[in-house]
Structure 1
């Protein structure tokens, strides 16, 4: 889960920009998966994909601030020991 707090209120353009950020993040995850450009999780772990599992959405709103979130997933392989 990735969460953020941003300005929120009657300014429709600001609210749209907040939503656009999460759309861009989702596209960035897809691009990184396509390019196989993943974070290093250390020895024995190999990332397979990263993705957004939901669209970014407004979770709660106060008069001048909104809390947004998006659910994300990273799939990785972890080398184990055989018995």
Structure 2
């Protein structure tokens, strides 16, 4: 399964969402979301079922909050 959504305003992408799943024993679920305002990325988030998560927020072109949490369940990335 693969899903991609996005919204644009005045020719700019305001929100994008990407989801996909695999049933071959590799990646079961991956999710990526981001939002932009005035052409700047305000929020980006990446999640997967394997306990890896990336979040960042920016304001005035500076990253205010950046967090990366990664954990392996089966000894693999």
Q: Is TM > 0.5 for Structure 1 vs Structure 2?
A: no
Between Structure 1 and Structure 2, the one with more helix by share is 1
Please say which structure displays the higher CA radius of gyration: 1
Between Structure 1 and Structure 2, the one with more strand by share is 2
Structure showing greater relative contact order (alpha-carbon pairs closer than 8 Å, 6 or more residues apart): 1
- Normalised TM-score (structure 1): 0.31
